[in-house]
């Protein structure tokens, strides 16, 4: 947040000032959505054969609040190859599109652990949910959530996944469920990166910041519960 809004004489803020909005500090950016929110014009464009892009502004309230909507539809996927990328490092989406002429379109998702805290032991895998990267299991979700994946025929799929399964500890096998799952009956409860609670708090420099609520991100403190810390290595928990 400090790096993003630290310099108030940059092209982003100059463009805001040209629209008649005075920006002096971070609080101005945070208190008024006019500083950074602009409605888009309605547009429909064919990006490639069978691939259509649409954008429009959707009015939310009579006072003028809105949200911009973007949609990509595929009427035919015969000549389209789908690929899902997950990384633990920042990815510059625009640069990837410019450097790869074969890319028709790309959609990003903010499904990752994000905090302004400097943690002593940050998560090794910051992407939330079930993650399979290069055929290797890298993360397990503690919520019941849909999973986006590409099948062996190259078709993009969305499947609802229940956070449950079995884990072997020593020579014994136990059933498990995610701590945020609707399923409750199991011998083991899984706490993952997506079990962490991130909250917005006031900050004198930036107006607000994201912090990890450590008390709400701990496993239950009970004498009859044993905590086992696991790492995923080579696709195995």
**Residue among 175, 197, 178 at smallest CA distance from 186:** 175
List pLDDT tens digits, range 18-37: 556 666 655 555 555 555 67
Q: With 80 as the cut, is the pLDDT of residue 131 above it?
A: yes
161 occurs within a structural domain: yes
Residue 173 belongs to domain spanning: 81-237
List pLDDT tens digits, range 46-63: 988 888 999 999 988 888
Answer whether 183's CB lies under 8 Å from 163's CB.
Answer: yes
98 occurs within a structural domain: yes
Look at the chain and report how many structural domains it folds into: 1
67 occurs within a structural domain: no
**Residue among 225, 140, 137 at smallest CA distance from 191:** 140
227 occurs within a structural domain: yes
List pLDDT tens digits, range 181-236: 988 888 899 888 888 888 888 877 777 888 888 888 888 887 787 888 777 666 56
5 occurs within a structural domain: no
13 occurs within a structural domain: no
205 occurs within a structural domain: yes
128 occurs within a structural domain: yes
Percent of the chain with pLDDT over 70: 80
Answer whether 205's CB lies under 8 Å from 2's CB.
Answer: yes
């Amino acid at each position: 947040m400090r790096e993003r809004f630290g310099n108030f004489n940059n092209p982003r803020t100059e463009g805001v000032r040209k629209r008649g909005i005075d920006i002096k500090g971070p609080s101005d950016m945070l208190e008024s959505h006019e500083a950074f929110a602009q409605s888009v014009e309605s547009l429909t464009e064919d990006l490639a054969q069978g691939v259509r892009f649409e954008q429009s502004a959707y009015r939310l309230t009579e006072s003028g609040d809105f949200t911009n909507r973007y949609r990509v539809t595929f009427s035919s996927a015969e000549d389209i190859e789908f690929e899902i990328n997950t990384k633990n490092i920042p990815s510059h989406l625009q640069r990837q599109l410019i450097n790869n002429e074969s890319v028709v379109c790309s959609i990003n998702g903010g499904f990752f652990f994000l905090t302004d805290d400097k943690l002593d032991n940050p998560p090794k895998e910051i992407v939330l949910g079930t993650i399979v990267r290069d055929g290797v299991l890298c993360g397990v979700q503690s919520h019941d959530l849909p999973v986006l994946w590409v099948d062996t025929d190259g078709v993009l799929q969305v499947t609802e996944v229940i956070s449950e399964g079995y884990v072997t500890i020593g020579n014994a096998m136990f059933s498990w469920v995610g701590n945020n799952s609707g399923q409750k009956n199991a011998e083991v409860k899984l706490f993952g990166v997506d079990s962490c609670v991130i909250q917005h708090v006031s900050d004198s420099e930036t107006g607000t910041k994201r912090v990890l609520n450590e008390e709400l991100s701990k496993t239950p403190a009970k004498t009859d519960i044993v905590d086992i810390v696991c790492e995923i290595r080579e696709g195995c928990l």
